[in-house]
Amino acid sequence: MTANIEIQNVTKRYGSMTVLDGLSLSIKANEFMVFLGPSGCGKSTLLRMIAGLESVDEGTISINGERIDTLPPGQRDIAMVFQSYALYPHMTVADNMAFGLRNISVSPDVISSRVAEAARMLEIGHLLERKPGQLSGGQRQRVAIGRAIVKEPKAFLFDEPLSNLDAALRVRTRVELAQLRNRVRSTMIFVTHDQIEAMTLADRIVVMNNRKIEQIGTPMEIYSRPASRFVATFVGSPTMNFLNVGLTEENGFLRAKLPDGTELQTAIRSSGPKAGEFALGIRAEAVKLANGVPATTTGKVDVLERLGDRTLLYTSLKDGTVVVAEDIGNSRVAIGDEVALTLDGSRTHLFDTAGNAWHNEEGGHG
């Protein structure tokens, strides 16, 4: 079973505080959609409204064309997996998984075959007789997912299900979720504040901030063509460099005057931006040591971060603007060095203070 989910003009208030303001979005059948945004931006609230655990103050939510926001949670045919797992401690794993089905009087034969199938899929068959207290965090997590799978819901909702796991297990469970997703064809909505989880799991990402949706797109659309400075800041690590620039035009494309007075030719069409203050965005991976290529400018290396496969150089330009550059893993640069930097003008973005963004010509990359 699967479902497309339509959210139209949804608003949520707590007292006088509006936490979601007129949100609209469509989730396709079988899509893995991730709600990404900082803590407190309303991700869980939106998810809980879809599940029926919170009321909708304005707007509608529909599944396969039928309004569900007026239905009680039990009639929505949706399963939710919480960060806290919410397992019954006194019940075995098998009973935890079967409980919801017994409640709606599914026949015992169907229940045991669904539990066995979910256990096989999640590789927890050997744990079925244990109690949650005898399981690791990762195993409990799987039981919570198994409990959702046996319901054969139209959609799965996950609220930060990896947040309670340690770093190594988080990565492993993330990969397992991606694999599970290929076995269980169903609509899935996954909430996280972790941009790496969003990038690695999503078909599409909804970036949320400050009561609103900032952007909806595939991971690479979000990464390569962030719709606002907020999105550009939130997605990608290290965070994108921003430089206050003055703009001129050359052959239909913008030329940026960097804060230290040097100039950079961009691949952004000059027809787009209107007057105002602009920040030029460029990711560290598009800022390299000049090494024979004509340099754009020079920076002094203040901090050096060795990541093994590459090295991040936190440099400051003559005027003090900080620019993070990327060098090879075995970088020979030292703190205090004055380095010549080449900024790749074909990989720049432009942001104004009103939340608009412009990018290089279509076909270029991040």
Q: Which residue, 17 or 167, has its beta carbon nearer to ligand ADP? A: 17
Q: How many residues bind Mg ion (CB under 5 A)?
A: 1
Region binding Mg ion by CB under 5 A among candidate stretches 4-12, 40-48, 62-70, 225-233: 40-48
41 interacts with, out of Mg ion, ligand ADP, none, CB within 5 to 8 A per kind: ligand ADP
CA 213 to chain CA centroid, Å, is 12
Residue 186 touches Mg ion, criterion: CB under 5 A: no
**Rounded CA gap, 167 and 176, in Å?**
14
CB of 37 to ligand ADP, least distance (A): 6
45 interacts with, out of ligand ADP, Mg ion, none, CB within 5 to 8 A per kind: ligand ADP
Q: 10 Å Cβ neighbour count for 299?
A: 25
CB of 75 to ligand ADP, least distance (A): 23
CB of 43 to ligand ADP, least distance (A): 4
CB of 330 to Mg ion, least distance (A): 41
Binding site for ligand ADP (CB under 6 A): 14, 19, 37, 39-45
Burial profile 268-296: b = 16 or more Cβ within 10 angstroms, e = fewer: bebeebeeeebbbbbbbbbbbbeeeeeeb
Task: Classify 49 as helix, strand or coil.
Answer: helix
Region binding Mg ion by CB under 5 A among candidate stretches 36-44, 54-62, 313-321, 348-356: 36-44
Residue 44 touches Mg ion, criterion: CB under 5 A: yes
Sheet of 58-63: strand order equals 17-27, 5-14, 58-63, 66-67
Angle between helices 93-103 and 137-149 (to 10 degrees): 30
Region binding Mg ion by CB under 5 A among candidate stretches 24-32, 41-49, 226-234, 257-265: 41-49
Q: Which residue, 191 or 313, has its beta carbon nearer to ligand ADP? A: 191
Q: Which residue, 21 or 152, has its beta carbon nearer to ligand ADP? A: 21
Q: Which residue, 45 or 262, has its beta carbon nearer to ligand ADP? A: 45
Q: How many residues does the chain have?
A: 366
42 interacts with, out of Mg ion, ligand ADP, none, CB within 5 to 8 A per kind: ligand ADP
Instruction: Write out the two tokens for 144.
Output: 């919570």
Measured from each CB, the residue nearest to Mg ion is 44
> What dihedral angle (degrees, nearest 10) is formed by the CA atoms of 110, 111, 116, 118?
100
CB of 11 to ligand ADP, least distance (A): 13
**Rounded CA gap, 215 and 195, in Å?**
14
Give the ranges where 85-166 is alpha helix by DSSP (H). Answer: 93-103, 108-122, 137-149
366 interacts with, out of ligand ADP, Mg ion, none, CB within 5 to 8 A per kind: none
Identify whether the C-beta of residue 140 lies closer than 8 Å to the C-beta of residue 87: yes
Helix (H) or strand (E) holding 233: helix 229-234
Residues of this chain that interact with Mg ion (CB under 5 A) are 44
